[in-house]
Amino acid sequence: MIEVRPLALEGVLEILPPKFGDDRGFFSETYNAERFAAAGIALQFVQDNHSFSAAKGVLRGLHYQLPPRAQDKLVRVVKGSILDVVVDIRKSSPTFGKWVSLEVSAAKWNQILVPKGFAHGFVTLEENTEVIYKVTDYYSPQHDRGIRFDDPSIGIDWPLEASTLQLSDKDRKAPLLDGSDIFP
């Protein structure tokens, strides 16, 4: 049975699927719709994404999609490790602008569930890190948005110096939370 641990923001969960090993290796059922639903997570995933980052310090995010194309995300690491960061961008939420982080790694074999209404990003903590995540809606360029990783109003405590991080131009030029399209 999967183990589910709530994190500091409502709806953001750490998920630990069981892993069965022997001298040949291991087997793990990382997603099962019935078992997730029994644990209170009834989502229909429609797309899987896989990212590879060659270097330590690759930062991807903070990303989200606006309604009606908002996405829930189930994120796991199959090689290496990341610090995964989730920011509440629901304007009417009592935790608006607050963030939570979780180290997600192949060694810990944990996952993080990021609900709609939250911006998501991560930084790689090791070279050659591979991240796989499921989403509940398809990528929609016209609904795709981002927030700057170093927005002082959010104050994320990234584990590496900003000057050492590798970002895409899109992420480097993302607007601050104050200037972003966000959830009501």
Q: For residue 63, indicate whether it is catalytic.
A: yes
* Residue among 50, 64, 133, 138 flagged as catalytic: 133
Phi, psi of 52 (to 5 degrees): -120, 130
Contact between 108 and 28 (Cβ < 8 Å): no
Catalytic residue (choose from 31, 63, 64, 120): 63
Give the separation between CA 114 and CA 138, rounded to whole angstroms: 15
The upper half-sphere exposure of residue 2, i.e. CA atoms within 13 Å in the direction of its Cβ, equals 25
C-alpha atoms less than 13 angstroms from C-alpha of 129 in its C-beta half-sphere: 26
Q: What length does the chain have? A: 184
CA–CA dist 144, 136 (Å, integer): 14
CA 79 – CA 62 distance, rounded (Å): 21
- How many of the other CB atoms lie within 10 Å of CB of 144? 14
User: Considering only CA atoms, which of 93, 113, 95, 112 is closest in space to residue 103?
Assistant: 112
Rounded CA gap, 8 and 67, in Å?
A: 24
Can 133 be counted among the known catalytic residues? yes
As annotated, the active-site residues are 63, 133
